[in-house]
Amino acid sequence: MRTYRGPRPPAIPSRGLTRRTFVQGLAAGGVAAGLWRSTAWAAPSGESGAISSSDVELTIGELPVNFTGRARLATAINGSVPGPLLRWREGDDVRIRVTNRLTAPTSIHWHGILLPAAMDGAPGFSFTGIDPGETFEYRFRLRQSGTYWYHSHSGFQEQTGLYGPLVIVPRDLAALRAERDYTVMLSDWSDEDPVAILRKLKKQADYYNRSQPTVGDFLRDARAKGLAVAAAESRTWGEMRMNRTDLADVSAVTYTYLMNGTTPAGNWTGLYRHGERLRLRFINAGAMSIFDVRIPGLDLTVVAADGQEVDPVTVDEFRIAPGETYDVIVTPADEAAYTIFAQSADRSGYARGTLAPRPGMSAPVPEPDRRVLLTMADMGHGGAAGGGEHAGHDMAAMSAMSAIAVLPKGITHAPAEFGPTVDMRTGTPTARLDDPGVGLRDNGRRVLTYADLTSIFPDPDGRDPGRSIELHLTGHMDRYLWSFNGVGFMEAEPLRFNYGERLRIVLVNDGMMEHPIHLHGMWSDLEDEQGGFKVRKHTVSVKPGHVNSFRVTADALGRWPFHCHLMLHMENSMMLAVIVDEEGRHG
């Protein structure tokens, strides 16, 4: 587990800032020196400030910003948050010289990009980092196209602004299928020092959860389920010392949610002409926030996931976890303005922007949906046993849910999962890819699920996996510790892949938090419930009580990170090293 070594803006209490200020931010958003306009308008081309050269100079340094009415220091790339859009072409060789103007080491990781391990940009693996005053030169060939992003992998610098969008244009330009192209980067900003946020969570895991269960919630449950059942469930939650409203570790109590570096009040705006197709490249660069995205009045046709094309599917809404990207096509049929609405999964706040034919237009902003309480079924549990173990299922509530077919012998728990670092284990997780997740079920809208995603190509490898590795996503909420199989990063043995092999990774989420899991350097080919190839991704988000599996072709020699993309989970030990070498060379 790495320690924070980036710039630390001073922590401040939230007194004097209203909830509305936190949710919407300042209209001015951005740079304290006044370099940003009160409303952020995208250029007609959709590429304002983009860098398209294959020879790039990037400088990392501190930048004064003011998102909430109080000046703070961000960690910026070329003087902006987010950093500049890098727009390259598939097949090109790129060179990026990154200069560190901070007083602490830094790095840039190229999220989802296939490249040599030494160019991946994760300190402590196959890369040492960039010391203050030094310049590091990244060199690699672009072997893919699509929507990706880049961010720091040093301490908490990603939370303080060190991230940016990356688009690789395919050689076949017809594949773009749109007249206008915008990146829509979602993120979360806090005036608090990230170290202070972590310190509070270590002392009180629900510190930022101001939506505790109420008597009204209990009465609503009693009317729906009966008094005896509601009382039993309430008692079980109490015995587990877990909170039914714990949908996010960090909320709008401290976060202001940004769209392309702009607060909701700042209203980032993408312009269009009547009848144009717009390709919106959504990127979740949030440190700790899952977003549910919709554009009221417009159909969203999803055409790519994590940079890879999928069979088009039309929805009203999609959930995007940190690390993930989705490309959608929209076609406004009139001269109206449309709100891009990205509410946080815990419904505490939102990011917001506008699509409009003219600058200065806006549309009504929806109220966040009602907060939904977690249930035992949401976590793959129907009852409770001693010692924090929860076994069995409420089969009525979990109808049609089944264990994944690639695990015929069932789920097994490692001995380390029964120690003091794990407070919960699932007995029979679900493999339902068609579950939209807590807060999105039966909401009257068409919601994208992993079941809707199908790559436009067959399994690129074609071989059946030769072996399987089962990993449990574990943690202890009260102690705010996270791990794989109950073992933290510093104590865990690396996963070892034989170069060239095809293997299966099975992820079992034993806890009550969703975990977006990212493997560096190699694709994660998500499987369906029967173990067949479904869709190629680089980040697989596993819901509470769920099990997902994906195939990996170990075609990248070196030492690679494998981790949860919730930054505070990764920093609190939810990470493994993956070593890919030739068979027989490792012991």
For 527-573, the pLDDT digits (tens) are 999 999 999 999 999 999 999 999 999 999 999 999 999 999 999 99
Residue with tokens 């570790």: 249
* Alpha helix ranges (H) inside 330-401: none
Q: Is 453 exposed, middle or buried (0-12, 13-18, 19+ CB in 10 A)?
A: buried
Instruction: Give 59's contacts (C-beta < 8 A, 6+ positions apart).
Output: 77, 78, 79, 98, 99, 101
Instruction: Report the distance separating Cα 154 and Cα 129, nearest Å.
Output: 8
Res. 7: pLDDT tops 50:
no
pLDDT recorded at residue 309: 97
Q: Where are the beta strands (DSSP E) in 450-501?
A: 468-476, 481-484, 495-498
Q: What is the pLDDT of residue 35?
A: 35
* Paired residues of 304 in beta bridges: 309, 327
Cα 71 from Cα 30, distance rounded (Å): 10
pLDDT at residue 365 greater than cutoff 70: yes
How far apart are alpha carbons 83 and 129 in whole angstroms?
19
pLDDT per position as a tens digit, 473-492:
999 988 999 999 999 999 99
Query: How far apart, in whole angstroms, are the C-alpha atoms of residue 318 and residue 576?
Result: 29
Q: Are 549 and 537 in contact (CB under 8 A)?
A: no
Is there a contact between 271 and 364 (Cβ–Cβ < 8 Å)? no
Closest alpha carbon to 416 in 489, 474, 487: 487
**Residues 343, 368: contact at Cβ < 8 Å?**
yes
The pLDDT of 294-317, averaged and rounded, is 98
In this predicted structure, which of 177-186, 219-228, 462-471 has the lowest mean pLDDT? 219-228
* pLDDT of 4: 32
Mean pLDDT is lowest, of 10-19, 209-218, 297-306, for 10-19
Q: Which strand (E) or helix (H) includes residue 313?
A: strand 308-315
Residues 191-201: tens digit of each pLDDT: 999 999 999 99
What is the fold of 19-176? Answer: Immunoglobulin-like (2.60.40)
The SS3 call for residue 446 is coil
3-state SS class at 9:
coil
Q: How far is 501 from 516, CA to CA, in rounded Å?
A: 24
CA distance 572 to 119: 25
Q: What does the pLDDT read at residue 586?
A: 46
pLDDT (tens digit per residue) in 242-276: 565 668 999 999 999 999 999 999 999 999 998 89
d(CA 449, CA 436): 5
- Give dist(CA 296, CA 298) in Å, integer: 6
- Tell me: pLDDT of 513 over 70: yes
Query: What is the full DSSP assignment across 383-424?
Result: S--GGGB-----TTTTTT----TT-TT-----GGGGSTT---
How many C-beta neighbours within 10 Å does residue 212 have?
11
Instruction: Find out whether 531 and 525 touch, Cβ atoms under 8 Å.
Output: no
Q: Which are the contacts of 272, defined by CB distance < 8 A and separation ≥ 6?
A: 180, 278, 332, 355, 356, 357
Q: What is the DSSP letter of 569?
A: H
Half-sphere exposure of 351 (CA within 13 A, CB side): 32
Q: Is 213:244 a contact under the CB 8 Å cutoff?
A: yes
Tokens of 129: 């980092």
What is the C-alpha separation between 210 and 19, in angstroms, rounded? 11
Peptide bond into 82 cis (omega under 30): yes
Residue-level pLDDT at 108: 98
- Both tokens assigned to 204: 């009180």
Residues 6 or more apart in contact with residue 378 via CB below 8 angstroms: 438, 512, 543, 544, 545
Question: Which one is predicted more confidently, 242 or 462?
Answer: 462
Whether 19-176 shares its CATH topology with 380-587 is answered yes
pLDDT for position 351: 98
Pairing of strands 575-581, 558-564: antiparallel
Residue 478: predicted pLDDT = 86
> For the chain, what are the domain ranges?
19-176, 380-587
Average predicted confidence (pLDDT) for the chain: 85
Residues 77, 75: Cα–Cα separation, whole Å: 7
Percent of the chain residues topping a pLDDT of 90: 69
Q: Residue 493 is which amino acid? A: E
Mean per-residue pLDDT, 144-173: 96
Decide which of 435 and 409 is more confident: 435
What does the pLDDT average to over 407-428? 78
Domain at 380-587: CATH architecture? Sandwich (2.60)
Q: What's the rounded Cα separation, in Å, for the pair 200 and 211?
A: 17
DSSP one-letter string for 11-43 = P---TT--HHHHHH--SS-SBTTS-S-SS-B--
**3 state DSSP class of 570:** helix
> Which among 342, 327, 298 has a CA at the least distance from the CA of 446?
298
Amino acid 122 reads: A
Of all residues in the chain, the percent with pLDDT exceeding 70 is 79
pLDDT at res. 403: 37
Does the pLDDT value for residue 389 go beyond 50? no
pLDDT score recorded for residue 425 = 85
Return the closest-CA partner of residue 551 out of 505, 518, 484, 508.
505
For the stretch 431-445, what's the b/e string if a residue is b when 16 or more beta carbons lie within 10 angstroms of its beta carbon?
bbbebbbbbbeeeee
